[in-house]
Structures are given as C-alpha cells and as structure tokens.
C-alpha cells in the first residue's frame, strides 16, 4: 500500500516523541519524501483541481506540529527569513523551489549582515530541512506547490525577515506564509 498522510502523521508523532531534536526531524524529512512519492496524495492535495491557497492538512494538538499544503498559483520570491524558535521542512510536490540558505555574519536586533551559504533546487519528491534559527529564502515559479511541516503554528511565534538591500531586520506578521 502507498505511504499515505495518516501513516506520515503517525510516523511523525512517533519520531518527534522519540527525539524532538534535529535527528527526529530528519526522520520526518525522509518520511515526507516517502509521502511525496505517493502520486495519489500529491494529485489530491496539490493537483490542478486543488483550490489555491494555504491548507492546513493536520495540526497535532499534543506536539504542536503542522502539516500544510501550499497550493501556489503565482510565482514568488521571498526575502531571507527564519522560522523563529521552530523548524520547517519543505517538500516539493509540483514544479520546483530554488532555495538559498544564509548565514548571519554580524549585526544586531535591527540590522544584520547575511552571507549566502548554500544554494540548491528542490525538485518534486525532494524535501529540505531548516532547523532552529536557520535562515533561508525561496524562489518558485507559477504553480509550484509544496507540503510544509513546521514544529508549531508559525503564525503564533516571533519570526524575522531580512531586507537584503538595507540589512534591516523586520518582524514577520501572521500569514506571511513560508
Ligand atoms: Fe521558510
């Protein structure tokens, strides 16, 4: 039987209960790639007929993690940002996402210097992980869709984004997705 969302959720709960740290999340990342290999799941959640927008597929009341479907229609390039005290896993469902990971080399609460650390493309079936405090930016074309797993509801925690031109650090507001 194909690996489905219910199994992924059960495995995520088990992994994070066993080890809520980076190694447990890495298991979640690998399992998300198994889920994305399920063509029926991808078609159902991220296919052409899926209504555009952000859909919460699951929220764990006990551990707090969320599984989100980002049904994007329009291309978008995000500024570098973190995920606050949480972590995030991005699993590509359709098209691709170009990822840049950044290192903070200096600054304070209001300004920061960032240095590009890594650049790669997430193709369908691939998942990337951004552990606590990691800074990344994303760039995807029209109709690129992905499944994202976050350690908690990111709308409820403090997060920052960075203006590359000025170095300014800005608090992110809820629903500033990704
Ligand atoms: Fe992000």
Q: What is the 3-state secondary structure (H, E, C) of the chain?
A: CCCCHHHHHHHHHHHHHHCCCHHHHHHHHHHHHHHHCCHHHHHHHHCCCCCCEEEEEEECCCCCCEEEEEECCCCEECCCECCCCCCEEEEEEECCEEEEEEEEEEECCCEEEEEEEEEEEECCCCEEEECCCCEEEEEECCCCEEEEEECCCHHHCCCEEECCCCCEEEECCCCCCC
Mean pLDDT of 31-36: 98
What are the backbone dihedrals phi and psi of residue 131, each rounded to the nearest 5 degrees, phi first? -75, 175
How many angstroms does the Cα of residue 81 sit away from the middle of ligand 1? 6
For ligand 1, the distance from its centroid to the CA atom of residue 10, given in whole angstroms, is 24
88-130 pLDDT, tens digit each: 999 999 999 999 999 999 988 899 999 999 999 999 999 999 9
CA 148 to centroid of ligand 1, rounded, Å: 9
* 63 within 8 A of 9, measured Cβ to Cβ: no
In whole angstroms, what separates CA 9 from the centre of its chain?
Answer: 16
**Centre of ligand 1 from the C-alpha of residue 67, in Å:** 14
How far apart are the CA of 176 and the centre of ligand 1, in A?
Answer: 10
Task: For residue 15, report the distance from its CA to the centre of ligand 1, in Å.
Answer: 22
Two tokens, residue 62: 């006990």
pLDDT > 70 fraction of the chain, expressed in percent and rounded: 98
The mean of the pLDDT values for the chain is 95
C-alpha of residue 30 to centroid of ligand 1, in Å: 18
Distance from Cα 90 to the centre of ligand 1, integer Å: 8
Q: How far is the CA of 1 from the centre of ligand 1 (A)?
A: 32
Q: Which two tokens stand for residue 21?
A: 């740290």
Please tell me the predicted confidence (pLDDT) of residue 105. Answer: 94
How far apart CA 22 and CA 11 sit, in angstroms, is 16
Cα of 135 to ligand 1 centre, how many Å?
A: 8
For the cut 70, the answer to whether the pLDDT of residue 177 exceeds it is no
The alpha carbon of 11 and the centre of ligand 1 are apart by a number of angstroms equal to 23
């Amino acid at each position: 039987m194909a690996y489905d969302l219910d199994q992924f959720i059960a495995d995520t709960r088990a992994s994070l209960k066993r080890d809520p740290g980076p190694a447990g999340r890495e298991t979640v990342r690998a399992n998300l790639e198994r889920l994305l290999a399920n063509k029926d799941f991808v078609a159902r959640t991220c296919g052409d007929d899926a209504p555009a927008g952000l859909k919460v597929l699951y929220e764990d009341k006990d551990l707090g993690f969320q599984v989100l479907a980002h049904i994007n229609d329009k291309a978008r390039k995000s500024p570098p940002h973190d995920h606050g005290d949480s972590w995030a896993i991005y699993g590509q469902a359709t098209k691709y996402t170009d990822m840049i990971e950044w290192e903070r080399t200096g600054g304070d609460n209001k300004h920061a210097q960032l240095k590009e650390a890594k650049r790669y493309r997430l193709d369908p079936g691939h998942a990337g992980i951004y552990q606590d405090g990691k800074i990344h930016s994303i760039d995807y074309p029209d109709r690129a869709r992905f499944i994202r797993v976050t350690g908690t509801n990111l709308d409820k925690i403090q997060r920052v984004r960075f203006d590359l031109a000025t170095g300014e650090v800005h608090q992110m507001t809820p629903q500033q997705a990704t």
